[in-house]
Every structure is written in C-alpha cells, then in structure tokens.
Amino acid sequence: MAALDDVQVKEGVDQETVEAVQSVGGKYKYGFETDIEMEYAPKGLNEDIVRLISEKNNEPEWMLEWRLTAYRRWLQMEEPEWAMVDYPKIDFQDQYYYARPKSMIEKPKSLDEVDPKLLETYKKLGIPLKEQALLAGVEAPEGDRRVAVDAVFDSVSVGTTFKDELAKAGVIFCSISEAIQDHPELVRKYLGTVVPQSDNYYATLNSAVFSDGSFVYIPEGTKCPMELSTYFRINAENTGQFERTLIVAEKGSYVSYLEGCTAPQRDIAQLHAAVVELVALDDAEIKYSTVQNWFPGDEEGKGGIYNFVTKRADCRGDRSKVMWTQVETGSAVTWKYPSCILRGDDSQGEFYSIAIANNMQQADTGTKMIHLGKNTKSRIVSKGISAGKAQNTYRGLVSMHPKAQNARNYTQCDSLLIGDKCGAHTVPYIEVKNNSARVEHEATTSKVDDDQLFYCRQRGMDEEEAVALVVNGFCKDVLQALPMEFAMEAQALVAISLEGSVG
C-alpha cells in the first residue's frame, strides 16, 4: 500500500513532464529577441574598456586594479586547444564587452521600476519575477515553493527578488556589482580565492571584464529559507556575457542555488565565459544546479553560444559538502568542468551531469575532484547523450593527494548514442598519491536501440515520445538529484533537445 502511494507521486511528475513536452511542441522556444534600447561600450577589448566597465559599475579602486591585473595577464595567455571541440577562431576584438538596457542606467530601486519590456522577457521565459504580486498582498497558493531570483540581462542584473525577506535571515543575495559596493569586505575576502585571476584563459578574461553576476552569503548556522536562483539571458547581438558568481556558505550553513540560461536564436555565434566560485566552510553545504539551455545553433551548426565556463568549489572547511548538478542541453560548444577542491577533512564533493548534444553541437565537459583532506569523498555520475552529428566528451580528473588518507571516489560515466553519425568519448584522468585512497571508475556506452523504440510505439507512443522516455530513463540517476522544479524542466528539455534526432 505504502509502496504504491509512493509510485503515485512519481507518476504525477512523469505525467506532467510528458504534458510539458507536448505543450512546448518543439524547437528552441527561447529564441525570441527583446526589442529594447541598449547602451553598448565600444567594440573590442583594451584597458580602457576594462576601466569603462569598472566605472559603469561604480567600482572602488581595488576592484579596477584587480581587473587590470587580470587583463594584463590575459594578454600573455594562449587560448587552450586541448578540448575536443572545433570552432572558428574567436575574434576577441569583434565583441561587445558591455551592453545594458538604457532603462537600467539609473538603477531601478525596486522591481516595480524595472522596464516592463524586461519583465515581459522574463515572463516569457517562465521566470518568476512576480514578487510584485506578493508584495501587493496577493498570497502565494499554499504549498507553492518560492524561489528568489536574480535576473541578469546581458551585462547587468535587472533585479533580485525576495531580498528583504532573505535579509531577515541574514542571507545576502544580490548582484555582484551591488555586493562590490555594499559588502566590499566580503567580496575582497573571497573573490578569486577559488578561481584565481590567472587560472585559465577564459577565467582570466572573465576576471578582467565580468560585468555582473550574483553574490550569495549565508551566515553561520543558517539554512537559507528558500532556493536561490540566477537567470542569465543573453539578448544583445555580438555581445559576450561574462558573469561572475560568488557563493560563500559560512560554518554550518546550507543553500541550494539554481542557475538557468537562454539566448535568442541567431546565426552568429556568441561568447559566454562565466566564472563561478563556491566556498563552503566547516559543516556547510552548497547545492548548485544548472539547467543550461543556451541556443545550440541550427542543424548546420550555424550560430549558438560558445560556452567556456570555469566553475569551482572549495570545500574549505571540515565536513563541508558541495553538490554540482548540471543539465547541459544548449550551446554550440561547451567547455565546462565544475570541480571540487576537497580541502577540509571529511569533506564531500558530488557531480551529477547530463550533457546532451544534438545536430552539430560539441560538448567537452566533466569534473575535477581534488582530494586534499583526510577521509574526503567524491562521487561522479555523468550521462552523455549524443545525437545527430554531435560530439560529446566526458573529461574528468580524480586526484588523490599524499595527505588524502582514506579518500574515496566513485565515478560512473555512461554514454548513449542516438543514430550512427555522432560520437561519445570518455577521457578520465586518475592520479593517486596516497595508498589508502580508493578510486572506482565505471563506464558504459550504449545505443537507443530500435527494439526499444518499436516496443514503445507498439504500445501507442509516437517516436519522439518514445525517445524521450528511453533517454529520461537513461538520465534518471541525475534527474533525481535535481530540485523538484528543475527536474521537471530538465525532463522536458531532454525531450525537446532531442527532437528530430531519430527517423
């Protein structure tokens, strides 16, 4: 009896998913463009642009210096070429590094003052910036989980919801540009301590030109009262988005953070180079979930987002825990390895990933688990799905340092192929310098087979429904690791991004 009731809950979820898939009915649905007056910095990159970005954000001198150091460093660096991705050379001088809606020049004091066109954009994207309704005294339906949102549009943060309520709990959730002005001591203490300015080509570029992003600070012993979320939207043409996210979880605190991304459908590729830094102190726990749905380019591989992202967590404190969950469906090129430095003793890192590449998409993604402390544990579950002519690579490093006594890692990499023109590659690196450490690695590659599809179709499902069902089954371990709202969205996305992949 109890067991069947349990089934009922799961049934509901799956059914809604199928409905969601059907209601969306295909193609990239976030490809629209918002017609809005923009203010751009001049095209190209030089020290003046870096100064300009800093000035636009009213930054203190130390921040400008920090950016310039990064910029000078970047000039001496070479673009990395080791990833299994192939794309035309990026002309870094042919990009805009700063674009903001004109209506955002005078920062709106509340969401009510935000340009309705911007609010409309987020509404179309299904992002709840509807705190206004709540403030106006309209009660949320019971049981409706609330999520605080920081909405980033091109280079600037449009607004952050539920700020006051979070402040009551001592939680700071604001755009990073505000944090630099309002909480400089915190930003200065942690910025660049996980991903240093000189870390890698794209991270260094980001350090020089990042325009906005989110900042989260959870005080000691606090469980963040709601999910926090940032929604990144690239709208302007030829504009790179370089956001920077910094999350600090003090001792014994907990936060779950969601990140979503979309961009208009264009036939010119756009650059996205973000940096995310997480710091977890003693007994703190951070869950970071991403549903990345940038425009993937068309069937011939024209356009789409080039996504070069550095995400890293520092489990600085003992018994701290970080869990990365990502669903990567968009982007023409993905280069991304959310990692954990397991510095504190007994700290834990987890990485759950679904990477879907269809048509001409290329994904080179994975994780790094750096075990420094004693009894540190990590778990990696990666599901790569390739369809069309796409190439999907899992690249991961598990490193057990000499002091990582009794460290443990478990890695599972599964690849699923749909059709016979796509590829899946698994590149695991394992370094063990402590004899008591244990590393397990399992990898499988399979194909969605015709018999499975025929079986589903004989029972009445159409081909796309059948593929979605089989693929969602393949991804189940990871989907279950996502927060409820995201799990739904992710399941629907899995189905949408594979449309046209069979037949």
Partner 1 sequence: MLEIKNLHVELEDEDKQILKGVNLTVESGKVHAIMGPNGSGKSTLSYVLSGKDGYEVTDGSAELEGTDILDMEPEERAAAGLFLAFQYPVEIPGVGNMTFLRTAVNAQRKARGEEELSAAEFLKVVREKAKSLKIDADMLKRPVNVGFSGGEKKRNEILQMAMLEPKMCILDETDSGLDVDAMKLVADGVNALRDAGRSFLVITHYQRLLDHIKPDVVHIMADGKIVKTGGPELALEVENNGYTDILAEVA
What residues line the site for partner 1 (CB under 8 A)?
1, 3-4, 6-8, 10-12, 14-15, 18, 450-452, 454-463, 465, 469-470, 472-477
Which one, 409 or 415, has the nearer CB to partner 1? Answer: 415
Q: How far apart are CA 383 and CA 356, in angstroms?
A: 8
Which one, 168 or 459, has the nearer CB to partner 1? Answer: 459
Q: How far apart are CA 431 and CA 429, in angstroms?
A: 7
Which one, 263 or 468, has the nearer CB to partner 1? Answer: 468
Q: Are 413 and 382 in contact (CB under 8 A)?
A: yes
The two three-digit tokens of residue 238, written as one number = 């030829």
Which one, 5 or 61, has the nearer CB to partner 1? Answer: 5
Which one, 10 or 117, has the nearer CB to partner 1? Answer: 10
The two three-digit tokens of residue 68, written as one number = 């310039």
Q: How far apart are CA 274 and CA 182, in angstroms?
A: 22
Smallest distance, Å, CB 143 to partner 1? 17
Smallest distance, Å, CB 18 to partner 1? 6
Helix ranges (DSSP H) in 192-306: 201-209
Which one, 12 or 80, has the nearer CB to partner 1? Answer: 12
What SS3 class is residue 211? coil
Q: How far apart are CA 406 and CA 403, in angstroms?
A: 9
Smallest distance, Å, CB 24 to partner 1? 16
Smallest distance, Å, CB 477 to partner 1? 8
- The β-bridge partners of 426 are 394
Smallest distance, Å, CB 381 to partner 1? 12
Smallest distance, Å, CB 415 to partner 1? 14
Within 10 A of 116 (CB to CB), how many other CB atoms are there? 9
Sequence length of the chain is 503
Which residues, in sequence order, are CB contacts of 87 under 8 Å at separation 6+? Answer: 269, 306, 332, 333, 362
Smallest distance, Å, CB 20 to partner 1? 13
Which one, 3 or 268, has the nearer CB to partner 1? Answer: 3
Q: Where is 441: in which H helix or E strand?
A: strand 438-447
- The β-bridge partners of 321 are 285, 348
Q: How far apart are CA 242 and CA 98, in angstroms?
A: 9
